[in-house]
Amino acid sequence: MNKAAFYIICAATVVATATLGQSEQYKLGRRATPEEIRELDISVAPDGSGLPKGSGTVSQGQHVYQALCANCHGDRGQGVLQYPALAGGQGTLKSSNPLLTVGSYWPYATTVWDHIHRKMPYARPGTLTPDETYALTAFVLYLNGILDKEAELNETTLPRVKMPNRNGFVPDPRPDIPFKAKSPRQP
Amino acid sequence: MQNQLTRRTFLAGAGLTLGSMQVAVTGFPKELGAPPRPYGERSPFEQSARFLPKSSTPASSYSRTPLQDLFGIITPSALHYEVHHSGVPEIDPRRHEVMIHGLVERPLIFTMDDLHRLPSISNVHFLECAGNSGGEQIGRPAMNPQRSHGLLSCSEWTGVPLRTLLEQVEVKSSAKWIVAEGADAGRMARSIPLEKVLDDVLVAYGQNGEALRPEQGYPVRLIVPGWEGNTNIKWLRRVQVVDQPYMTAYETGHYTDLMPDGTARQFTFVMEAKSVITRPAGGQQLSGPGFYEISGLAWSGRGRITKTEVSTDSARSWQEAQLNEPIHSKALTRFRLPWWWNGKETSLQSRCTDETGYVQPTRDALVAVRGFNATDHYNGIKIWYVHADGKVSHE
């Protein structure tokens, strides 16, 4: 998102938040305890907030990957049938046949960690430990040439990984299609 | 009841005097009908159904609403389209809770009972998958409205404004976004700007007068009026108030729109104004020259539909169709136009305008800007071709 759009949202939010003041309190709902929040809160932000302590190396990740992921995503992340490719495609985004992968498209490494942790393995989501998730993230980034073979990821280093398409996203410019009331019939 | 009995008695009497043939034509039975049922079902003669594409991952799949079979603007809950990324969970409402936390003064957990006690509203809104009709953009027009536009439905949703829940937890001034998360296996999560949340986002437990269907997020879901379907988190379990978008996979790797120059548009939330003729439409057969009512649906994520024009002469001229009242904001709107078919080949198409003045573009105008690499958020004009033999098709 560019800065202008960001500040517009901020400004609008300040106005909106201000009106939250005169709200009616219905005294329903119970207070969430810190333990309850810790148990449910799995969100991870691009700045790394929410990442649990832990670490994993590319080679540890390769091990877990071959056991749990290769069946669907292929042994080198090339994808199998309808299961998406995780690697490749860099340099194809302007072509007529772009390949959108973690390496060619995804702007943040934290998203890779979050998605693996949230949703993978597809049939048994939520079963990976933080260390396994760091290791798998490291291996997938290695498959894309973003990390070298000896790399290790942890809660501090993961948010610092620079993804190739980090600056490839623009804010929504719509409406973007010009309308001519009397345009001739399109062929 | 008295009137009905009298009428029956009269008809039965008429049948006796006019002869048995008359009875056979009116066809009323000589045996008692079925007793009442605790939960109603449609007539066995009605076979309209969702279309399920083949998928080797049944849990990550979708079904399409049979738009060409529906009347009015409300989609029967049993025919509402589905998109699931990790299957449909079975959730016991007595054990389901919604936690609101993050940049708030008092993080709170609401039971379904709490939610039912809070002041509620009911609104009619469409839901549309971002990818609906994307095949049209890349030159693969689909054969009927269900296949072309069926990732679209409209319901009356009942629930509590999310704003009311945020008032209970007291949002801090640094808050700018929320992250909403579902209780499905994949814990679907999306970031939504706080501005939209405070405007019209609903924490909905009711759909068309009854509880949500499981595949629509039972027992509780987000309704984000007018925005791409994926943001309308189903099986809502957690709302985290945050200071930045969390860049989940479904707002970075997916549902972003890759442009011809290689950049990708992000947070393309609004589903722009769009329309489709549902009768006569592809897959249907006109029985001969004569009168037909053209009927279809128009909708806009930016507000109310103000106008829908229909062309019956391959876009040489456009006539304003009648819009069925009431017209709801960010809801399907039914349009109708009387039409006398002269038996000659032609094409039918519709284009709508919403209250912001936005006019639905042609496919050519859209692809001239967006190209072919991203097919989400496509809203071009759909054309149906009427052939001399009365067959209506997509090409």
DSSP string, B191-250: EEEHHHHHHH-EEEEEETTEEPPGGGTTT-EEE-TTB-GGGS-SSEEEEEEESS----GG
Average of per-residue pLDDT across B280-285: 98
Homologous superfamily (CATH) for A61-163 = Cytochrome c-like domain (1.10.760.10)
CA B324, CA B2: separation in Å to the nearest integer? 34
Shared domain for B195 and B97, answered yes or no, is yes
The tens digit of pLDDT for each residue in A104-127 reads 999 999 999 999 999 999 999 999
What part of A 64-83 touches B (C-beta under 8 Å)?
A: 81-83
Average of per-residue pLDDT across B258-280: 98
> For residues A140 and A87, is the Cβ–Cβ distance under 8 A?
yes
- Residue B219 in domain: yes
User: The domain that contains B361 carries what CATH number?
Assistant: 2.60.40.650
Average of per-residue pLDDT across B252-263: 98
Shared domain for B245 and B279, answered yes or no, is no
The tens digit of pLDDT for each residue in A145-169 reads 999 999 999 999 999 999 999 999 9
User: The domain that contains B246 carries what CATH number?
Assistant: 3.90.420.10
Shared domain for B206 and B300, answered yes or no, is no
pLDDT given at position A182: 46
pLDDT given at position B221: 99
Q: How far A151 CA lies from chain B's nearest CA (Å)?
A: 23
- Give the pairing type, strands B97-102 and B236-242: parallel
Q: In chain A, what are the domain boundaries?
A: 61-163
Question: Last residue of a domain, which of B212, B233, B265?
Answer: B265
Shared domain for B87 and B168, answered yes or no, is yes
Q: Does A35 touch chain B (CB under 8 A)?
A: no
What torsion do the CA atoms of A11, A12, A17, A20 make, to the nearest 10 degrees?
Answer: 150
- From B56, B109, B171, residue closest to A29, measured CB to CB: B109
Q: What is the largest CA-CA distance in chain B?
A: 83
- From A40, A126, A171, residue closest to B267, measured CB to CB: A171
Shared domain for B176 and B280, answered yes or no, is no
Shared domain for B148 and B284, answered yes or no, is no
Q: Does A14 touch chain B (CB under 8 A)?
A: yes
- Residue B54 in domain: no
- Residue B64 in domain: no
- For CA atoms A20, A22, A26, A31, give the dihedral sign: positive
B112 → chain A, closest CA residue: A29
B256 → chain A, closest CA residue: A169
Shared domain for B241 and B388, answered yes or no, is no
> For residues A62 and A86, is the Cβ–Cβ distance under 8 A?
no
Residues of chain A with pLDDT under 50: 1, 6, 10, 14-15, 18, 181-187
Q: Which domain holds residue B372?
A: 274-393
Question: Last residue of a domain, which of B208, B243, B265?
Answer: B265
The tens digit of pLDDT for each residue in B109-156 reads 999 999 999 999 999 999 999 999 999 999 999 999 999 999 999 999
Q: Does B160 touch chain A (CB under 8 A)?
A: no
Task: Say what the pTM is.
Answer: 0.91
The total of structural domains in chain B comes to 2
Question: Last residue of a domain, which of B265, B300, B324?
Answer: B265
- Residue B60 in domain: no
Taking each helix axis from N to C end, the angle separating A58-68 and A130-143, rounded to the nearest 10 degrees, works out to: 100
Shared domain for B279 and B207, answered yes or no, is no
Shared domain for B256 and B150, answered yes or no, is yes
Shared domain for B242 and B300, answered yes or no, is no
CA B183, CA B179: separation in Å to the nearest integer? 13
Shared domain for B146 and B256, answered yes or no, is yes
- Strand, helix or coil at B293? strand
